[in-house]
Each structure stands twice: as structure tokens, then as C-alpha cells.
Amino acid sequence: MRVNTSEVIKRRYNRISSIYEVMDKMIKDTWRLNLLSQVSGEVLEVGIGTGTNLLYYPKHIHSLTGVDFSSGMLNHANEKVKRGNFPYPIELIDADIQNLPFPDNTFDSIVSTCVFCSVPDPIKGLKEIRRVCKPTGKIYMLEHMRSENKIIGLTMNVLNPLTVRLWGANINRETLRNIETSEIRIDNSISLMGSIFRQLILSPNKNK
Ligand SMILES: C[S@@+](CC[C@H](N)C(=O)[O-])C[C@H]1O[C@@H](n2cnc3c(N)ncnc32)[C@H](O)[C@@H]1O
């Protein structure tokens, strides 16, 4: 029987959604704040999860649309939206990053934090965010990826099946290469944890 990877990952996030925030301390608050203070206009956050980033968006953005394919994670984000008093409209949508329900060139800023390690087909997902980003827009990421250190990289390859099984995240994704394959331009890359964790500012590169 053919395994539907998206369904497996979705179920895994549904299962861990109630303990996700206690478990996941990988991204420092200051990293989120530095990244999100740069976004503006109509913002799309892909893989919004439990909505941790909601604390950090600047008040002046026009709107925020959050998508995630795990209803369990989205329930927690919805609670935060109800409790918070946000000065901009927020819409949360149950959708797959690999097939976004938006027309081309919709958003000024697109955000992903710790998401492309678990999107089943990362290149398909990256091409989708490029498609829905305005030609003048920017893509803002905090993502972990395979180390450039040979030994650490090989160790990550060995451990990867275990991390995928436990929490649905690949630790050996070649995210920089995937970004380039998706015809997205890397404007700025800051290493936050050696070559494993980076802040990335990207352009959809549509006016080549
Ligand atoms: C590691 S969590 C990160 C959540 C949040 N961005 C954060 O910084 O805390 C990854 C999230 O991406 C979502 N995700 C992974 N692949 C997805 C896909 N193809 N479509 C929509 N959401 C996806 C998962 O459901 C999960 O909520």
C-alpha cells in the first residue's frame, strides 16, 4: 500500500499539538523578533503551527493569513487569535503549503519558521510560496538544515529516519539548494547556529 507522506506528517503534528510548545524550544525569541520586525503589508505565514509568531508581528502590518495542514496545531493558533487583541485582521486556513489556495502574486511578505524540514515535498512548497509572493515581495525564514560539516552532515543523515519517525522533521534537508532549485534568490543569509540554523531573506526573483 502506498503511504501518503502528507497524511503521516499531518497526523504526527495533530498528535503532538498539545505539547508542542513545551517540547519545542529550538527557536530563540530574539530570532523570531529580529525576523518578524522586518515584515510588512499583506503577510502570509506558512506552517503557522500553534501561532507562536503571533507575539512578534509588528502592529503596522495590513493583514495576516496563516496556513497549516494540522488542525490540531491550528486549534491552538485560533485560541491565541481569539484571546489576543490584534490591530490587523487575521485569517487562519487549513491548507497544504504544497498547494496554496491563493492567486499568484498575493502577498508582500511570506514567513516560515521551522517548516521546510517537514513539508513532504519542499521544492513543491517553495515553488508555491514563490508563486503567491508579489514580484516586489520578500520571503522571511528561520530554518534548520543539514550541516556543511562533513561528519556532522553524515551523522544527520544517519539520525534522520529517527527524527522523522518521532516528530515528522527531517534534520538533513539541503534547504539552501532547494531554495535555489525553486528559482528563489537568497538576498541575505545569517548563520545562527553554525551552518545548521539560518535566518534567510529571499526574493521571488520574478523580474529576472
Ligand atoms: C515544526 S512546526 C513549526 C510551527 C511554527 N512555524 C513555529 O515556528 O513554531 C512545523 C509546522 O509546519 C506544518 N506543516 C508542515 N508541512 C506542511 C504542509 N505541507 N502544509 C501545511 N503545513 C505544514 C506542521 O503542521 C507544523 O505545524
C-alpha pair distances (Å), 147 with each of 100, 172, 173: 29, 8, 9
The pLDDT assigned to 23 comes to 64
Spatial CA neighbour of 120 closest among 1, 30, 2, 8: 8
What separation in Å is there between the alpha carbon of 118 and the centre of ligand 1? 7
pLDDT tens-digit map of 165-201: 887 789 999 999 999 999 999 999 999 988 899 999 9
The pLDDT assigned to 26 comes to 78
Of the CA atoms within 13 Å of residue 16, those in its CB half-sphere come to 16
**Is-above-0.85 flag for pTM?**
yes
C-alpha pair distances (Å), 38 with each of 20, 31, 76, 158, 202: 26, 12, 25, 36, 12
Q: Using alpha carbons only, give the angle 183, 29, 117 rounded to the nearest 5 degrees.
A: 35
User: Ligand 1 test: best mutation among 115, 164, 173, 178, most atoms within 8 Å of CB?
Assistant: 115
Kindly report the protein residue whose alpha carbon is nearest to atom 1 of ligand 1: 114
Show the domains of the chain with their CATH numbers.
5-203 (3.40.50.150)
